[in-house]
Structure formats: structure tokens, C-alpha cells
Structure 1
Amino acid sequence: MLRAYADRMPDYRAHFDFDIRFANGGGLAGSGFRLDLPGAHATEDEIARLLIAHLGLALVDEVELRGVRIVEEAHRGSRGVDAPSPAAGGTRVVDLSHPIRAGLVTYPGLPAPTITPHLTREDSRARYAPGTEFAMDIIHMIGNTGTYLDSPFHRYADGSDLAGLDLSSLVGLRAEVFHLEDAWDVSRRGIRSATLADRDVRGAAVLLHTGWDGWFGQPEYGEGAPFLTGEAAQWLIDAGAVLVGIDSVNIDDTESGGERPAHSLLLGAGVHVVEHLTNLGALPPRGARFTAAPPAVEGFGTFPVRAFAEVPA
């Protein structure tokens, strides 16, 4: 079950079957359908109108709903339900990054960071005025540590390195969050374009919430993880996404024998990739602003970021 957004009023969704008849002939039926609602007391007429808006239908004559149940459940981004707007209190910040510590295993098989002192507080006392002391430490780590961003240089020798990235493509991006914890299973781990196609992602950071971050730091994290398929990556490029993030071990299938279609396509098109996100369940499907900016390191392709989202309070 999705974690509820922190400090927000509960969300509600309708569960139902439906039959739709069109004025110019033909019909459409669905079973076990789920739809975001603006509140707990929506009428069947309101649900029918929201269903039409979500499906983008024209020339509808009649809508029949059956077995309607309204339940408290996190929104998934149905069209026709407005995204939250900033309240008078402004915004709150949601941290989406794993803390980095000595010995942290991010990606199984890659080295863990080490942290050693360059100048201890005790030794610094001899260099500064009485009562003044500092600590200076050295961290030795691979760029693929914690929550990190991949630049095109990570995949392509002639691609932009971290220092060459446009900050406007990393800061304050409109976030389209896809809550997919119950939309995949071990027999079909790949996230396909059809799962993402109901949203306008042009200019957006597309964040894929799979719930796999619950295994982070454990051996299970590296096996059987969800990923983005190559055809879905191409769809996101064509749809105009500027960044794609996931809370899994890799945006590609690491059990595919070395193929990396999502990385190759996204980074080849200049679409940033952020891996090992966490806490995406605290975000609404729409309405947040996402930031993930690495330091401007020349000749480097990937580096940890402090990824976070600003959400209307």
C-alpha cells in the first residue's frame, strides 16, 4: 500500500465497474476501475464526469456505474482532478536522498565510501586561536554512491559532463510522480510506456515510485528489481521529459546480460537520469517541484545529489 503524503489531508478514490455508450454508436466497458476523487463524498454523477475527463472521451451519451466504493487511498494522478496548489503557508520540502556514510553499499559489487580525517578537531587547536577548532575530512568514493545523477558523459565520451549541465534542467522541475508499487510483479518487472501514457510529461521530471527503496542497503536490493523498458524510455524522450528518476537499483534491467537501453536512449537524448531515490511515496502525483543538482565536476559523469521536492503545504 502506498505511504500517505506527510502532513496532507487523506486522498480518496472510487472503485467501480462501468459501461459507457456513445451518442454516435459503440460503447466502452471496464471492470475494477479506480479513479482519483476530489473528496470523500463525490456523487455517482460527479464520478461519471471525472471518468469521462480522465479517459478523454467525446460524444458520450450515457455512463452506467456499478458497485461504486469510495475508499481512502493515495491519488495516482487521474486526469480531471486538479493538482494541489500552494496554500498560504507556502511549501514543505521532502528529502528524496539516501544518506551517505562510510561503508555504504549502494550498488552491489561497487566499492563503498571511506571517510578519514585530514585534520582532527584536536589537532586543529594548535593552528587556531584558543576556543577555535575545525574538522576537515576526506571522503573516497565512486560517483555511483547513494542517490546520484547520471550525465550524458557517463554513457558517451562526447556527452556533457557534470560541469556542462544546464542548471535549469535540474532545479525546480515540475514533477510527475508515478506511484507503481502495485503495478508490476516479479514476472513482469519492466515499466512500459502504456503505464505512463496518461500524463503530460513535457518539461517534467518523471519520478518512478516502485517501493524498491525499502530494500536499499540489503542484498535483496540488487536482485529482481523493477526497471524502465527501452520502449518506455523512448516514449518519455518523444513526450518531452527532461529527467527520469527511479527508487530502484538501476533504471535498466541489470539482469539482462549487460544491455542498457534506458541509459543509452535517455542520456543520448540529453535526458538526465537519477537513480536510488527514496521516499517518493511522500509525494503527490502532481504539484511538486523536483531538484537534483550535482557539483560541477569536469570530466566526470555521475555524482551524488541531494534530491528533494518542494510540495504545497
Structure 2
Amino acid sequence: MTTEYRAHFDFTIAFANGGGLSGEGFRLDLPRQDVTAEEIGTLLVAHLGLALVSDVALRDLRIVEEKHRGSRGVPAPAKGAEERVIDLSHPIEAGMVTYPGLPVPTIVPHLTREDSRGKYAPGTEFAMDVITMIGNTGTYLDAPFHRYADGSDLAGLDLGTLVGLRAEVFHLQDGWDADRRGIEAVTLADRELQGAAVLLDTGWSSRFGTPEYAHGAPFLTEGGARFLVDAGVQLVGIDSLNIDDTEGGGARPAHTLLLAAGIHVVEHLTNLADVPARGARFTAAPPAVRGFGTFPVRSFATVGSH
């Protein structure tokens, strides 16, 4: 995997037509390690989308080995590179807790290998097992039927809206503020998102399977959901307990808005930190079950060779 670098610095920008702009503790993706301060200044201006800049001054500049977060002006991984597949799903096992209070999966044998030996030719054996679980188990996808009685069920989903979607990953772990858990529209406003799978990397999946996973989880705000609907996204995924704030009462505005617009929701993702901000393809296809609105998926991202 290619080593990535980022610059950490404070800055002051002056404009040719008057006025200025300053920032502290800024972080910026770099195309390579040996970038000059002048080049970083140019990248900063491009990232911020500024015009008529007369001067850029950087202070306390440090270049560190760090995964990219999606700064504008830095190219995505080159096409034609060796393809990698990144698994973004939690494995399902008996007794696992996905969402506190929901039934845990049970797995029992229907036919053991030992019992099968008397049913088949010598040297031939099989195992068949029965799994009982709620649809909201592990990493799962919500179809419109999950929220709306007249919405499309899992069998009615178009595979073209689930396979090989352009992924826009928002890496939000830097400086995460536990007191401001909601992901707002302004956080998502720096990219072209139409038709994309928007994946929200909060780092919360590191708590999966522990009591801490259920409390203080990040979520998408109503304003953030409305912004994504207006942007025309195809799917929204998050590595957290829920796309909505489950500690704010019974309202579920993100589910309500996204699923009403036919936008798929994938919850309880993992390993999103390994997916580049741009340039990957995302897949999350559930089985085609009629009359069902939620089911686990084997979600994954492919990087390179697109």
C-alpha cells in the first residue's frame, strides 16, 4: 500500500483585493513527502477554493505520515493500480450483539457431518446449519420498506444501485468532538456527490461488541440527511450504532428522509479508515427477500483497476 502524507500547520492568507484569512491546526493531504512550503500554500488555496490570493504564510509546518482525508487538489489513487478489496462488514456469529435490546443470532446444526455420512456415498459428507436472527444483525442495509409500508422491499431493489458505486468517504476521526456527535451538512459540502455512496468514517466501529458502542454514538443530523437527498446520493453508510440519534427521542429524521428518497442506508460498517476518500467503489447487496426491509450485507470497497 502506498504511504500517504499530510501537512499540519497554521496559516495566514492575504487577498489581492484586500482582507485576509487565517487558520490554526490545519491539516492537508499531500501528493508526496518532499513537498515545499510554497507548494503546500498552493494546495491550501486550491483546497479552500479561493481566488485573488496575494500571499500565503505557513507557520509551525510539519509533514507527517498519515492517511489522506480527502483534501481537494490532491489526486485520488491512480487508475490501473493493483486492485484491493477491503471488507467493510462485521462477521456474524452466534450471540453477537449488534443493537442492544434486539435478539442475538443463534446458529444450530440441521445436519452434522457425522450424521451426513450415513446418507451419502463413502467419503462424502456435508454440514447444514440453521441461523435465526433479526434482519438488523451485523452490517446491514435498510431498504425503503424498513420505514414505509409501500416502499420497495429487499427483492425490489435494483442491483445497479448497490454494486460498484462511486465511493465518497468522509474521514471524520480527526479531532472528533464527543459533545457534537451530529454530522452536519456543512461537513459534507465540499464534494460532488450525485450518484455516489457516501460513507461516514467516524471510528466508532472500534467499539463494536462492547457496551460503549451503544452510548454517545455519532449520527447524521436531519440537516445533513436533507443535504444528501438534495445532492442526489445513491447510498449512505456509517460505521456507527445508527444513522440517526437514538438518544434524542423517537424521531428518526435521517431514516425518514433518506429512505423516502429511495436512498439506501447501511449501518454498522467497519474498516472505513482503510478506504481512500476518493477513487474506491462500494458494494453492499442483500439477498432478495420479499416483504423484508432490512438484512445483513457483505459490504466491501474495491480500490484500483477501475
Q: TM-score range by the shorter chain?
A: over 0.9
Are 2:238 and 1:237 equivalent residues in the alignment? no
Per the normalisation by structure 1, the TM-score is: 0.94
1:281, 1:51 → 2: CA distance?
Answer: 23
2:15, 2:274 → 1: CA distance?
Answer: 39
CA offset digits 1:29-68 (Å, max 9, x no partner): 2222111111111112211111111111122222222222
Match of 1:213 in 2: 205
Matched position secondary structure for 2:109: strand
Are 2:188 and 1:196 equivalent residues in the alignment? yes
Match of 1:27 in 2: 20
State the one-letter code of the partner of 2:225: A
Cα distance, 1:183 vs. partner?
4.2
Match of 1:254 in 2: 246
Are 2:7 and 1:14 equivalent residues in the alignment? yes
State the one-letter code of the partner of 2:9: F
2:166, 2:235 → 1: CA distance?
Answer: 10
Matched position secondary structure for 2:189: coil
Match of 1:77 in 2: 70
2:240, 2:119 → 1: CA distance?
Answer: 46
Does the 8 Å contact 1:205/1:241 carry over to 2? yes
Q: Percent identity?
A: 73
1:63 maps to which of 47, 56, 73 = 56
Q: Which residues of structure 2 form unaligned runs of 5+?
A: none
2:55, 2:232 → 1: CA distance?
Answer: 35
Matched position secondary structure for 1:16: strand
Structure 1 stretch displaced more, 54-63 or 217-226: 54-63
Does the 8 Å contact 1:20/1:28 carry over to 2? yes
2:109, 2:80 → 1: CA distance?
Answer: 45
1:133 maps to which of 112, 125, 139 = 125
Does the 8 Å contact 1:206/1:241 carry over to 2? yes
Structure 1 stretch displaced more, 122-131 or 134-143: 122-131
2:94, 2:132 → 1: CA distance?
Answer: 9
Are 2:137 and 1:164 equivalent residues in the alignment? no
Matched position secondary structure for 1:263: helix
Structure 1 stretch displaced more, 263-272 or 193-202: 193-202
1:224 maps to which of 194, 208, 216 = 216
1:99 maps to which of 81, 88, 91 = 91
1:300, 1:22 → 2: CA distance?
Answer: 57
Structure 1 runs of 4+ with >6 Å offset: none
Matched position secondary structure for 1:128: coil
Matched position secondary structure for 1:123: helix
1:24, 1:64 → 2: CA distance?
Answer: 17
CA offset digits 1:88-136 (Å, max 9, x no partner): 5x30111111111111111100000111111222222222111111111
Match of 2:39 in 1: 46
CA offset digits 1:240-283 (Å, max 9, x no partner): 21111111111111111111111111111111100011111111
CA offset digits 1:179-227 (Å, max 9, x no partner): 1123432211111111111122211111111111111111111111111
2:175, 2:189 → 1: CA distance?
Answer: 14
1:27, 1:188 → 2: CA distance?
Answer: 29
Are 2:255 and 1:263 equivalent residues in the alignment? yes
State the one-letter code of the partner of 1:110: L
1:159, 1:255 → 2: CA distance?
Answer: 26
State the one-letter code of the partner of 1:254: T
RMSD, aligned α-carbons? 1.3
